[in-house]
Amino acid sequence: MQITRVEALPNPVFYGSSCGSGQPTTLSVRAWVNDPSQVLQLQVEWKFPAAPAAPGQAMLMNPDGNGAYSIDLYSLGADSRLQGGSGEVMVTVSAFDKQQNYVAASPVRVQVLPCTAPAPPSITPTVTPSPIPAMQTRSGYVELHDSYQSGDKADMDFSGVPELVYFAPNENGVYYGHSLGQYVGEGEGICMTQVSSPSFEVCKAYQSCSPGIGPVQEGETYCYHTWNDVYGYFHIDKIENRAGFDMPDDWVISLSYTVWLP
């Protein structure tokens, strides 16, 4: 039994009494397992690194069928733990099987921000924006086989540490389409959002992005932001099955990508 994928959205999520439109306060957590027939229950736990002395909180997740589980967290308890400030919440999904074996997925980081009331209309002086500092671009190309089969991972910001993995659909129905997700096993991570015309300004302007996207298709373009505070974008050049006749599937996704480096 394995937890194959975890999503926690939206990111960021907000808290407080003055939340308005565009400041969602409910965190939706979804997880998938590869052998649902053996699962007894899934549990989600969340903790705030800024308040290490505060106990973590946990709830059981709801089965949605076909190995999927979900829960909506309407209150994270951020008021007492962040006390009006900004921070992060670490979301961890764990599973127990019918033999009482236990597995846990890598934690997902979600930014938590205080809500702000809309300011009254005011006349502001015209300010000439500061020029965007000169950036250098660096481009690359990567082919990823299904990570569940091959363990392939991609370094998307030239840091030497991988952040991205690819999952292909399989006959067990664990993945419902081709998808990409962040890999945090070596201390890095990534979040992504689909765009039509990427640029540094466009990619940096997005306030919300997802650590997992799917289903994805050939020809799509996504901005991304790594935990190293590097922005970039990738284009899905090709998704193909390279398996020979009467051989197991061998799906490969090909990405060309560009990052902006200071």
pLDDT at position 56 is 83
Q: What are phi and psi of 71, to 5 degrees?
A: -160, 145
Q: Say whether both 143 and 251 belong to one domain.
A: yes
Does residue 44 sit within a domain?
yes
pTM strictly above 0.75? no
User: How many structural domains does the chain have?
Assistant: 2
pLDDT(173) > 80: no
The whole-angstrom separation of Cα 49 and Cα 241 is 42
pLDDT(17) > 90: no
Q: Say whether both 24 and 103 belong to one domain.
A: yes
Q: pLDDT for 80-106, tens place per residue?
A: 899 889 999 999 999 988 888 888 988
Q: What are phi and psi of 52, to 5 degrees?
A: -65, -25
CA dist 106 to 90, 130, 187, 188, Å? 10, 39, 10, 11
Q: Say whether both 256 and 145 belong to one domain.
A: yes
CA dist 249 to 146, 242, 246, 257, Å? 10, 7, 9, 26
Pairing relation of β-strands 108-114 and 13-15? parallel
What's the domain range around 26? 3-114
Q: pLDDT for 107-153, tens place per residue?
A: 999 999 999 876 566 666 776 665 655 678 999 999 999 887 788 99
Q: pLDDT for 35-74, tens place per residue?
A: 888 888 889 999 998 888 888 899 999 999 888 999 999 8
Does residue 129 sit within a domain?
no
Q: Say whether both 107 and 146 belong to one domain.
A: no
Does residue 126 sit within a domain?
no
Which CATH number fits the domain that encloses residue 64? 2.60.40.10
Does residue 123 sit within a domain?
no
